[in-house]
Chains A and B, each alone.
Chain A
Amino acid sequence: MADPLLEITGLKTHFPILSKLLRRRVGTVKAVDGVDLRVAPGEVLGVVGESGSGKTTVGKSILRLIQPTEGSIRFEGRDITNLPAAEMMPLRARMQIVFQDPMSSLNPRMTIGRILAAPYEIHGVAKGQELRDRVAGLLGLVGLPADAAQRYPHEFSGGQRQRVGIARALALRPSLIIGDEPVSALDVSIQAQILNLLKRLQGELGLTYILISHNLGVVSHICDQVAVMYLGRVVESGPREALFFNPKHPYTEALLAAVPMPEPGMRRAHVPLGGDVPSPANPPSGCAFHPRCPRAMARCAVEAPMPTQLGDGHVVACHLHGG
């Protein structure tokens, strides 16, 4: 295997729960609680999970937008877990993020031209005519008209705004782009346009993506590797084919069974998973999934399963499979 572009080991990101009156720490939300991930250059990793699984916190921790509590993040061969802000700055050009809702991540009072010029100005890369040329180049790259530079975010549709979000992420030629639900707010016909754009750009620019999504169809379409998260941990990860067509963890199975299919008559045979995702402030003992697991054993309530290698990079953390 090639050297990974990104490798995170034992990542934990915990948030304190403070009391209302004296702001004393009364508990901890273990949003991310021991996550290992590897992403090879040019690969697309999908991180899937339901609300509260910690997938967004993983993304933000990798970018050090949130400081992780424990563990290490290696990016382009360098440990960046505790780099001071000044040393992180040049690296920020190499790793970028695209958010779900471009309306709330684009400054409504700035023209698209100024929004796209900002990365070049902040990093002192270009100015004057060269800056204008680069902005025009970015607009062309994501399929926006050149006159978009003079207009404001509200003048664009959701799909076009997401193109602006992608253009901004691409400005400094990053190697890694994290997409946090980048197509979730879009209608299906527009979603297809943006997914095709992401795929084309990946090929043209040799990008590596981490795509955080709750939509398994989207992940199946675009990702090479998939990691399934539940309550702050990765319960199963591996190549796309293995995850979707030979899932081993009962949670992955249940998740796949719950996805409605756009084919009438394919109604799920399975009984849907009962219960709710528990609170990450008070996760169940042992395997966090055991209270909802249809195949839970006595052992699952007391002992957390360790990740087990099943070959070809397929890893599962479940007592049914070694764990």
Chain B
Amino acid sequence: MAEAVLRAEKLGVAFRIPGGRTQAVDGVTFELRHGETLGLVGESGSGKTLTSLALMRLLESPPTELSADSIVFEGRDLLTLSEAEMADLRGARLSMIFQEPMTSLNPLMPVGKQIDEPLIRHLGLSSAEARARSEALLARVGIPRPSEAAQRYPHQLSGGMRQRVMIAIALACRPSVLVADEPTTALDVTIQAQILDLLRELQDELGTAILLITHDLAVIAETAHRVAVMYAGRIVETGPVAALFATPLHPYTEGLLRSIPRITRARQAELPEIPGMVPAPGQLPAGCAFAPRCTFADAACHTERPALEPAEGGREVACWKPRHG
């Protein structure tokens, strides 16, 4: 088994608000191994994006409070680094791409220049060297006529092309970890397929480990090696993708998988639903956060919170009745 390049231990994010404190991410522990893709999946409000921003130390404090036993990246605990040391890592060894490239690219700067920046800042290239490298990167991410494209501004490119530029920027310095937060959610399905293929190819070339954050289980199924399912700020289940999809251990994972409308010859009369809705942070029930929506919950589930425990086949689950047992 490849060793971990990133390991978060008991990561938490809280919001301090007038009159209280809300724990939005609570005790999240996971590791990302060399060259793999770990899918972090969850619905709105599950804490998946907060988790990723916390890893990058991009959360503003206040109002947020980051807590963790450790976040070890390439042997160093990110929690002990100064802001200057973090800035040296970001975009170099540890990169991130976001859902909407239009809001993460600088609208006033030609895209070539935006790729030059990390190359100059982190690798110490001259502007001429950086530009040559940027154009090669643009070509590599599938942008036609790279030297012309480098002169363009973000608004002159399509959504798919903008996401390719984001990927070129993020991978310019060959990071060991790429955090991708809903990288294809804003894209049409044919463009999504192009971008997912591109990420896979580049991962094979560069050996980059990817933390893929998404609400879309189908994207996970196609792209990830392992998956962690989040619910109400906690990880409820992890495991290799094939096993987790074939036999989900947590009733929430099972419910999510069953509620996806699929393209099947015979039509289902009714989609299996998960009743109710995700509890608001700060209004979590006493026991398992999923218990009020769970068909299999009993008294124990409502009183005591299950911890994430190892299960067979390198899997983990936080449930008193995994597989309804």
Interface string of B228-264 (1 = CB under 8 A from A): 0000000000000110010000000001110111111
The stretch of A94-102, A255-263, A300-308 in contact with B is: A255-263
Q: How far is the CB of B99 from chain A (nearest CB, A)?
A: 14
Q: Is B192 an interface residue (CB 8 A)?
A: yes
Q: Is B44 an interface residue (CB 8 A)?
A: yes
20 A–B pairs (Cβ distance < 8 Å), ordered by A: A159-B277, A188-B43, A188-B256, A189-B43, A190-B277, A192-B272, A196-B270, A196-B273, A214-B189, A216-B263, A217-B262, A240-B267, A254-B190, A258-B192, A259-B189, A262-B245, A262-B260, A266-B221, A267-B222, A273-B194
B160/A258 in contact, CB under 8 A: no
Q: How far is the CB of B264 from chain A (nearest CB, A)?
A: 7
A264 to B193, CA, bound (A): 15
Q: How far is the CB of B177 from chain A (nearest CB, A)?
A: 23
Interface string of A216-247 (1 = CB under 8 A from B): 11101110000000000000000011001100
Which of A158, A193, A274 is the most central at the interface, judged by chain B CB atoms within 10 Å of its CB?
A193
A189/B218 in contact, CB under 8 A: no
In the complex, which residues of chain A have a beta carbon less than 8 angstroms from the beta carbon of B193? 257-258, 260, 268, 272-273
Q: How far is the CB of A264 from chain B (nearest CB, A)?
A: 5
In the complex, which residues of chain B have a beta carbon less than 8 angstroms from the beta carbon of A157? 277
Q: Is A277 an interface residue (CB 8 A)?
A: yes
Q: Is A204 an interface residue (CB 8 A)?
A: no
Q: Is B295 an interface residue (CB 8 A)?
A: no
Which of A159, A274, A276, A277 is the most central at the interface, judged by chain B CB atoms within 10 Å of its CB?
A276
A200: nearest residue on chain B (CB-CB)?
A: B270
Residues on A lying within 8 angstroms of B by beta carbon are 50-51, 157-159, 187-193, 195-196, 199, 214-218, 220-222, 240-241, 244-245, 254-268, 272-274, 276-277
In the complex, which residues of chain B have a beta carbon less than 8 angstroms from the beta carbon of A214? 188-189
A216 to B270, CA, bound (A): 17
A276/B264 in contact, CB under 8 A: no
Number of interface residues of B (CB under 8 A): 45
Residues of B36-81 whose CB lies within 8 A of A: 43-44
Whether A50 touches B267, Cβ cut-off 8 Å, given contacts A189-B255, A261-B222, A262-B257, is no
Whether A220 touches B190, Cβ cut-off 8 Å, given contacts A188-B256, A262-B218, A264-B241, is no
Q: How far is the CB of B64 from chain A (nearest CB, A)?
A: 23
Q: How far is the CB of B114 from chain A (nearest CB, A)?
A: 20
Q: Is B215 an interface residue (CB 8 A)?
A: yes
A187/B43 in contact, CB under 8 A: yes
Cross-chain contact of B273 among A51, A193, A216, A241 (Cβ < 8 A):
A193
Q: A216-B189, A220-B262, A272-B190 are in contact. List 14 more A-B contacts (CB 8 A).
A: A51-B188, A157-B277, A158-B44, A192-B271, A195-B271, A196-B271, A217-B260, A221-B267, A222-B261, A259-B263, A260-B219, A267-B222, A268-B193, A273-B193
In the complex, which residues of chain A have a beta carbon less than 8 angstroms from the beta carbon of B275? 193
A188/B259 in contact, CB under 8 A: yes
A241 to B265, CA, bound (A): 7
Cross-chain contact of B188 among A188, A268, A277 (Cβ < 8 A):
A277
Q: Is B216 an interface residue (CB 8 A)?
A: yes
A190 to B256, CA, bound (A): 10
Which of B194, B264, B271, B278 is the most central at the interface, judged by chain A CB atoms within 10 Å of its CB?
B271
A240 to B264, CA, bound (A): 10
Cross-chain contact of B158 among A241, A261, A265, A276 (Cβ < 8 A):
A276
B258: nearest residue on chain A (CB-CB)?
A: A192
